[in-house]
Amino acid sequence: MAIESMNPATGELIRRFDPLTEDAIHQKLALASEAFKSYAAVPMGHRALCMRKLANLLEEDAVELAEMITMEMGKPIKASHAELTKCAAACRYYAENAVRMLAPESITTEASRSFVRWDPLGVVLAVMPWNFPFWQVFRFLAPALMAGNVGLLKHAPNVPQCALAIESLVRRAGFPRGTFQTLLIETSQVDGVLADERIVAVTLTGSETAGRAVGAQAGWLIKKSLLELGGSDPFIVMSSADLDLAVENAVQSRCINSGQSCIAAKRFVIHAGIYEEFERLFVSAMASMRVGDPMLDETQIGPLATRRQLENLDQQVNAAITAGARLLTGGRRILGPGYYFEPTVLSGLPRTAPVYRDEIFGPVALLFKVNHLDEAIRTANDTPFGLAASAWTRDPDEQQRLVAEIQAGSVFVNKMVASDPRLPFGGIKHSGYGRELSAAGMREFMNAKTVVIA
């Protein structure tokens, strides 16, 4: 894909960027590597000061930045504001807590002193997607810079202005030159950057395909990698659940970011005892979601981010119907300019259909009826992915079993899944490995150095 800002609400090209030349990439790598040598010695207090300034800048420039996000990838403007607020909160969280998280850990042995100290690793490459063009970057950036690492960002090609804005914000916040740079490069240039000896590790958020390519190369190079890939998260509703609350959260979770979130609920596993009622309420709520101009405050679902996303979603819905799924509402592209798709609900997709195993990235929900808890757990786990799950029941025994038996990086009970800087975030199975956020996320790109003093 060309590196260009294209408004998904209109299909209009805003600006095209040339990819960096090999020379320009080398200059940036050299700068990053030099920056690490001095930045690793910058005291935590100063890093925290810059991080707090960064949070302030995100808030001061929120109107302009939110419009940029919405213009480049189409999410409703209110959601763009919420994304920036969350980034600012993460900056403050790490500014506040990094010293505690990185304090040496004493371990009693026969030696006079033994402990673990946390050293930064160096220059980390971040390959990021377009769906949360600020948040995906900030959840890497805030802990990495507080830890003393240096970042290079290869952002998705449809959000170059967001990528450049992030670099500029970091600089204005007072972080030393070269601490965080954006590389406007194409897919084919990533392996050269990753192979460069000045890069010590890579973090990638995106599709399974991208994760496999980058993870395989990092493995071969023996460089640390963290992969946050797709999800097909289950949303399980048992008969004792508060049905109205479950439906409200189900719709919100499926439609967040116009359905383009890794932790959106995608498969709704509903107990037979309440299935008919759930289906009626859910279909009606999905059908009444306001789809439209993402710049308007009242819009709940905007266009999909790119024409390719729209075509892929359209193809997945058609494949599901062809395979035998029943269409309960929506199902079509919305004609006219922009990449809009109707909020859609499908039921009874046969488990043998190839699309059953896909991540569906758009406002399209799949409903499954189950007869008992065992079947609910089996259905929830019947996916290559294992990112997160939301389970709705007031029965403590059911809660316990769901928490223990769901195969996912997170299980939220009677709550929709959301990331939180205080909690580890990441998946198992094909959803990737490693954790972001919390102390666990910060330590992914650090050397846990064992020190023993006789």
Which positions are annotated as active-site residues? Answer: 228, 262
Residue type, 293: D
Q: Are the CB atoms for 99 and 426 separated by under 8 Å?
A: no
User: Based on CB atoms, which residue is closest to ligand NDP, 138 or 278?
Assistant: 138
**By three-state DSSP, how is residue 126 classified?**
strand
Distance CA 143, CA 120 (A): 11
Distance CA 346, CA 101 (A): 45
User: Based on CB atoms, which residue is closest to ligand NDP, 162 or 391?
Assistant: 162
| Nearest residue to 299 via CA among 255, 261, 263 | 255
Distance CA 106, CA 84 (A): 37
Instruction: Tell me the chain's radius of gyration from C-alpha atoms.
Output: 22
Q: Are the CB atoms for 320 and 346 separated by under 8 Å?
A: yes
Nearest distance in Å: CB 430, ligand NDP: 11
**By three-state DSSP, how is residue 226 classified?**
strand
Extract the tokens encoding 435. 């954790």
Nearest distance in Å: CB 223, ligand NDP: 14
In the chain the first and final C-alpha atoms are separated, in Å, by: 57
Nearest distance in Å: CB 242, ligand NDP: 29
Q: How do strand 105-106 and strand 265-271 relate by DSSP bridges?
A: unpaired
Q: Are the CB atoms for 321 and 315 separated by under 8 Å?
A: no
User: Based on CB atoms, which residue is closest to ligand NDP, 2 or 63?
Assistant: 2
- Closest residue to ligand NDP, judged by C-beta, is 206
User: Based on CB atoms, which residue is closest to ligand NDP, 1 or 111?
Assistant: 1
Nearest distance in Å: CB 363, ligand NDP: 13
Burial letters 338-363, b for 16+ CB under 10 A, else e:
bbbbbbbbbbebeeebebbebbbbbb
User: Based on CB atoms, which residue is closest to ligand NDP, 135 or 282?
Assistant: 135
Nearest distance in Å: CB 237, ligand NDP: 23
Distance CA 22, CA 222 (A): 23
User: Based on CB atoms, which residue is closest to ligand NDP, 101 or 346?
Assistant: 346
Nearest distance in Å: CB 213, ligand NDP: 3
Q: Which residues of this chain interact with ligand NDP, rule CB under 6 A? A: 1, 127-129, 131, 154-157, 186-187, 190, 205-207, 210, 213-214, 229-230, 262, 309, 312, 359, 361
